[in-house]
Amino acid sequence: MILPTNTPAPDFALYATPDKQVKLSDFRGKKVILAFYPADWSPVCSDQLAVYNESLKLFQAANAQLLGISVDSKWSHKAFSEDRHFQFPLLADFEPKGAVAKLYGIYDEKEGLAQRALFVLDEDGIVQWSYLSPIDVNPGADGILDALDTLNNVIS
């Protein structure tokens, strides 16, 4: 069951590079977009993350930090990110495998991967929007942008 809205997002620390961990709580005071995806290098995931890379200026204009998360290793993320020129962190939910995806209710035990899921957190780390996408569908950025727009209008 996907973590519902108005729930505090569970904190975590995951590798963003082979030698640096990132904590979700490091981003308090900013909106955070968590983009869970099944696997580096897969066609749908590659397309999805490319859309987000192209949308970064829109996310940043809304004071939001994008974090991509999958169960792949920090080394796979490093190679994938460098190859695709991603300008946002990819976090390795690698060991214990899928621990963070499990906290967010989107780990697929049978396949051993994170489902394709999106979360938008407010500045206090509360889930304000979530979406579980079919595994073979690129959800795009429209839902994220709508959620950020709604959050910004509530604040205004």
Mean pLDDT by 10 residues, the chain (156 residues): 96 96 97 98 98 98 97 97 98 97 98 98 97 97 97 72
82: number of Cβ within 10 Å: 9
86 three-class SS:
coil
pLDDT of residue 57: 97
Domain ranges of the chain: 16-155
- State the catalytic residues: 45
**Pairing, β 117-121 against β 127-132:** antiparallel
From the options 3.40.30.10, 3.40.50.920, 3.40.190.10, 3.40.50.1170, give the CATH code of 16-155: 3.40.30.10
